[in-house]
Amino acid sequence: MISHIRAVVDLDSVARATGALVRRNKVRDGEQLCRLALMYGPGGLSLRGTAALAEEVGIRSLSDKAVLGRLRKCGRLMERILLALLAARGAEVASAAEGAGAAASAEAPAEELELSLVDGSLICSVRRKNIAWRLHACYDPGRGRFCDLVVTDTKHAERVDRTRIQAGHVVVMDRGYARVRDFQAVLADQADFVTRIGWRSLRLFNADGQPVDPLAELPRDGKLCERAVQVAGVARALRLIIAPLPSEKATQQRKKAARKASKQNRRLDPRTTQAAGYLLLLTSLPAARQSTAAVLSIYRQRWQIELGFKRLKSLGDIDGLPTADPDLTRTWLLAHLIAAVLTEDLVNQILDFSPSGGRRRRPSIWPTYKQAREMIRRAIVPVPMIHDARRLQRLRHRLAEPPRKRKLQAYRIRKC
């Protein structure tokens, strides 16, 4: 695993440049710092456990406070490693696209869109409810992996340009990104967008500059509806697509809106109840390029990034910050994201592996991700040399409790 990281980044020079490695005392190089951060983060070890097992990876004896001081300075180092791993993915995709384009130069196949799903998620502390961080992500559904990950505090709001926007891609966003500045950022980078909007989130106009009321455009016959609209500050003409939801889904959305209004102690606007039965989309894709039904199909792919977040939190154990220290928390989060990137690479290797014989069934993604995550964790956490008495003695010494007046009950009743 460390060799895979060393292939994309020079750990020693980056550790020096970011200030994570100042003196080569007990921790000699950037690789050992990276190992400490991974053991504390995705390895699931405490500071004391990380210090106890540090010798197994070639690090001299460290106390838990010494590990704490070094991990606090590793935030920028782990960020550079994460960026290098994601950049290597982008270079791999670009080279594959060039090869595919050269192979298909004699043909004229149908256009295949490259989708980028953009969203954000909160990561909260298990100890203090007011401690939270925000994860900004861009997901590639075609390859089943994240293509960009950025960690900020909650003071930084969700914006589409928090992550990298790739030219020629179609950025799929939820209604939280239905803002003029986000549209401008996507179009400025030579990309297109598909986003969900609310009935009053934007001011829409027709070609003559007259206001367009989305509620007045709601279809009464249960069919799809499309209209050309414009938004102030966006030079390109856009398409407003309205699709009626199934009756069960519409009922759920209306109940959800009613519960939200009740929780906020306000009266529910009847227009919100009316709009809850419809899906309102706004896109910059021209009709000649993608039909109305195709745009709806593109937006339905957005759920894949929600599943990606769920895998990070439920299988990757990233949901539950162990500390309120901002510097230590940032290192912990970035170490988890590095492990998540490596896990996704391993999952894709397993899924893309060509089986021998007649069995061609593809394994399920969730159990494959769980198994790959466990393989990464085993590669991170070293196994103590149980046959070495001296190492076991030193391990016991580092795991010992600090002096205390009250003796633990477990030791009072222990017979051996």
Give Cα separations from 197 to 89, 147, 237, 278, 283 (angstroms): 32, 25, 16, 11, 10
pLDDT in tens, 121-154: 999 876 666 778 999 999 999 888 999 999 999 8
> Whole-number mean pLDDT of the chain?
85
pLDDT in tens, 60-117: 788 889 999 999 999 999 999 999 999 988 777 666 555 555 444 444 344 578 999 9
What pLDDT is attached to residue 125? 75
Buried residues in 141-172 as b, exposed as e (16+ CB within 10 A): beebbbbbbbbeeeeeebbbebbbbbeebbbb
Q: Which two tokens stand for residue 74?
A: 């590793």
What pLDDT is attached to residue 104? 46
Q: Which two tokens stand for residue 378?
A: 């085993």
Q: Are 343 and 156 in contact (CB under 8 A)?
A: no
Q: Is 90 exposed, middle or buried (0-12, 13-18, 19+ CB in 10 A)?
A: middle
Give CA 195 to chain center in angstroms.
19
Q: Which two tokens stand for residue 317?
A: 């154990």
Arithmetic mean of pLDDT, 25-53: 89
pLDDT in tens, 286-304: 999 899 999 999 999 999 9
- The confidence band for 222, taking pLDDT boundaries of 50, 70 and 90, is confident
CA distance 397 to 88: 42
What pLDDT is attached to residue 106? 42
Strand-pair partners of 195:
173, 282
What are the extents of the domains in the chain?
A: 2-76+329-398, 192-296
